[in-house]
Structures are given as structure tokens and as C-alpha cells.
Amino acid sequence: MGFAFRKKQKKQAALTLKDIVLPTHVGIIMDGNGRWAQKRGLPRTAGHTAGAQNFRTITKYCSSIGIRYLTVYAFSTENWKRPRQEVDSLMRLFKSYLEEALRDFKDESIVVKFIGEKTAFSQDLQRLIYENEESSKNRTGMVLNIAMNYGGRDEIVRAVQKIAGEIKSGKISVDQINEKLLSDHMYTSGQPDPDLVIRPSGEYRTSNFLLWQSAYTEYVILDNVLWPDFTEKMLDDALLEYARRNRRFGGV
């Protein structure tokens, strides 16, 4: 993985998005909502609301510039450990958003998918998740993966459990286990691995996001920027930084 936002490269000849090959699949760790609110003397829930609004803006922008797959980290398996009041507020926010999302992204023909263990959510949320996926599945635009109750380790464990069950039933043999088989049992089955993951907030860690899929993913970390303040211009800069990287995939 490549982990740096090398600001010195801004001094090179100015590039624009028209000059580069865009990554096919971009991941975003939407980090810093709570800190954004605290810096403004607001409750953490206000940060999550602002982050949700920015999610819509950035998603539509990614679609407009030609990104084919976008995966956003909305709620991790570890986020259940947060204070109950904050978790309950997030669940209400998710419900409100999912109700709006049935109408959202239609003009952009965005396909909406949810990755993660959905059964942990309330019946209302599960129904809205299903309705969003069903109503958008025949669209032809960008694929949006929303990671909710998602953890990379949990995803790998569940994939292995499914494969073990198929071996036990005689559907496949141990000799058939390979990287492709595991990839086919991930939530992102059939999709390309992420080329680029962007993380605002200056945290230099993966936070259990797309662990299997990101073996050769480039990371761009933005210091001193929290997710609600992340702009389209910052996304452009991250894409240009990605374009300057030499991706060797373990070679020379």
C-alpha cells in the first residue's frame, strides 16, 4: 500500500483530471465527523448529519467524473462500542437517509449496494436496505457500495465459513481453494479491487476496511481535514496524487 499525501508534488507541472486515467474503484473512509462537531461546540450527532450531507455531494461528484465503483465506510463492526446514545442517533440517521435514498441518486443512475452483516440492524433498516438495492439494481451508472456493520476481518471469516460449508457439502474440494475463490465469496464479489482509498482526518491506518481487497491499493491520507469539510477539489487532488504513483504490484 502507498500511504502518503506528498504535498511537494504540487510544485510539478499542473495536471487536471482530463490528463490522467482515473482509478476504476475508489474507497473513502469517511472519518472525523465527531471531531468536526466537537471543534464547533456541537453534539457529535451534528457531525454525523454534516458527514451524511457531504457523502451525497461527493458520491454524485464521483459519478459525474467517471468513477465506476465507489465504496464508502459508513459504520464499522467496531462502531457498536460507541456510547448507546450516539449509536441510536446513527441508526435514526441511517433510517432517515435510507428513506430519502429511495429517491436519491436516481438521476445519476447510481447502483446502490450495501456490504456488511445486515442482520444486526432493525427490521425497518433491513427493509430499507433491501428496497434501496432492489430499486437501483437495473441502473447502469456508478456502483456505490455502502459499508454498514462492516469489518474486513469479519468479511474474511464469513467468506472462509461459506467455503468450509461448500467443502463439507461436497460442492467443492480443498484443492479448489485459491485467491479467486476467496474473492468470489467477499461482499464485493465480481467487482475490481480498489485502486485508491482516501482517508481524511490524518489517521494512518486501514481501520479494518477492505483488508482482503486492498493488498495493492494506494492510500492517500489528508491531514487536518475532517470528512464534513472534504471537498470536490480535495478529491481531485487525491486523484491526481494517485495518478503520479508508480504502481508496481510487488514487482520492480
One of 19, 54, 79, 195 is an active-site residue; which one?
Answer: 79
Contacts of 25 (CB under 8 A, 6+ apart): 67, 68, 69, 70, 71, 191, 192, 193, 194, 195, 196
User: How far apart (Å, rounded) are the C-alpha atoms in residues 71 and 209?
Assistant: 10
Residue 160 parent element (H or E): helix 152-168
The closest of 148, 100, 146 to 122, measured between CA atoms, is 148
Active site residue 132: no
Neighbours of 189 (CB within 10 A): 10
Neighbours of 178 (CB within 10 A): 9
Q: Angle CA(178)–CA(151)–CA(233) in degrees, nearest 5?
A: 105
One of 31, 104, 193, 237 is an active-site residue; which one?
Answer: 31
List the binding residues for substrate.
32-36, 44, 48, 76-78, 80, 82, 199, 205-207
Between the CA atoms of 209, 235, 135 and 185, what dihedral angle is there, to the nearest 10 degrees? -30
Active site residue 229: no
Binning the chain into helix, strand and coil, the percentages to the nearest 5 are 45, 15, 40
List the binding residues.
31-36, 44, 48, 76-78, 80, 82, 199, 205-207, 218
The closest of 206, 157, 166, 208 to 186, measured between CA atoms, is 157
Backbone phi, psi, residue 113, to 5°:
-125, 150
List the binding residues for Mg(2+).
31, 218
Residues carrying an active site annotation: 31, 79
